[in-house]
Chains A and B, each alone.
Chain A
Amino acid sequence: MDIVMKEQVQLALDERANKDVYIHLETTNGAYASHFDETFFSSGAYIRNAKLKYIHSKIAGNGPYRIGLKTDIGWVYAEGITHYEIDEHDRLLMAGHDFKGKLAVSLEISETPFE
């Protein structure tokens, strides 16, 4: 993955607007967070292959970045995005890696369902 280049990501987001896409959205602090630090409140959320159409999108911030997708009746957003890649299936993969390089958040957009 590459470090986010804001204009490139905005372009890739725009290209995927106004059509049916599949979304992978995930936040995680890892399953061991409360094991190593019992005062840590572990939380996370995950959705894979949510099918939707967004009509507007924006990448915001100066890095790590925030990304919002506006749909007809709602929103999708992710915070903490640091890296992106357009993979060999033309999917827009975005992720936020924490200070140790571990994945903390992931937002991906594909025109075909994820495996």
Chain B
Amino acid sequence: MEKERQVLVIFPHPDDEAFGVSGTIAKHIQNGTPVTYACLTLGEMGRNMGDPPFATRESLPHIRKQELQNAAKAMGITDLRMLGYRDKTVEFEPEDKLAHHMGEIIEELNPSLIITFYPGYAVHPDHDATGAAVIHAVKSLPKEKRPKVYCVAFSNNCEEEIGAADVVHDVTEVADIKLNTLKAHVSQTQLMIKEMEENLKKQDPAVMARINQERFWTYQFDE
């Protein structure tokens, strides 16, 4: 894994970082690279309310805020920013305004690497809108000032259209941190964790690869 000067992670929901990126984040922090996590919403519209349900529509944001703070702690992130947008409304925000907001954070931190969603290939409308705003903001920088952007993609058509991921990080050495990050988002991951831990015990190679390898697509700016 390349050593970075400053990493900026931008996702719309608490837990977006957990499954596909938390190992990478943990490794950067262990490398001594500062990592900032900007999270746009508190996942107010989540459908997982705990098992058995312990959250209500109104208590969920408070619970997920605490879970996000716990997850940040598990990864070692000390600069966590909650940007105050509302879950499932990100795509309806004025795009220029959103891109401008992302641009302000990028300008302040001057990261060498940004990690976000690949617009158009990230399934949830908030994911696509967040990725698009970040790309928009980076594009408006002069070429030589642009940080690298690693995107997360997982739509069913993504490999067909944008090829295979060009950056793959093996995060086996921080698997415990990754598992703790997932566990921190308890209201959202309870059911998944149970299944995952059983599969981990069986050492199923497909599951191991899915957990231990984090995949990214470097965004190619055409101009």
Contacts and interface: CB of A to CB of B under 8 A. Distances in A.
Interface in A62-115: 83, 85, 87, 91, 93, 95, 97, 100-104, 106, 108, 114-115
Interface in A19-42: 24, 26, 28, 30-32, 35, 38
B58 A1 contact: no
A13 B45 CA distance: 24
Contact of A38 (B50, B51, B52, B156): B156
Contact of A26 (B52, B57, B61, B123): B57
Most buried by A among B47, B50, B53, B88: B47
Contact of A35 (B45, B57, B155): B155
Given A35-B156, A38-B156, A103 B49 contact: yes
A65 B134 CA distance: 43
B51 to A, nearest CB: 6
A46 B155 contact: no
Interface string B132-173: 000000000000000000000001100000000000000000
B189 interface: no
Given A1-B56, A31-B88, A87-B56, A101 B155 contact: no
A24 B57 contact: yes
A101 B49 contact: yes
Given A31-B123, A38-B156, A115-B58, A97 B88 contact: no
Most chain A Cβ neighbours within 10 Å, of B46, B53, B57, B191: B57
Instruction: Determine chain B's interface SS by DSSP, over half rule.
Output: loop
Nearest to A30: B47
Interface residues of B, number: 22
A95 B174 CA distance: 39
Given A32-B124, A35-B156, A102 B48 contact: yes
Interface range, A side? 20 to 34
A46 to B, nearest CB: 7
Contacts of A100: 191
Contacts of A87: 56, 58-59
A101 B156 contact: no
Which of A28, A38, A102 counts the most chain B CB atoms within 10 A?
A102
Contact of B123 (A32, A85, A91, A95): A32
Interface of B: 45-53, 56-59, 61, 88, 123-126, 155-156, 191
Given A1-B56, A26-B45, 18 more contacts: A24-B57, A28-B47, A32-B123, A46-B88, A83-B53, A87-B56, A87-B58, A87-B59, A93-B56, A95-B49, A101-B51, A101-B52, A101-B53, A103-B57, A104-B47, A106-B57, A108-B58, A114-B58
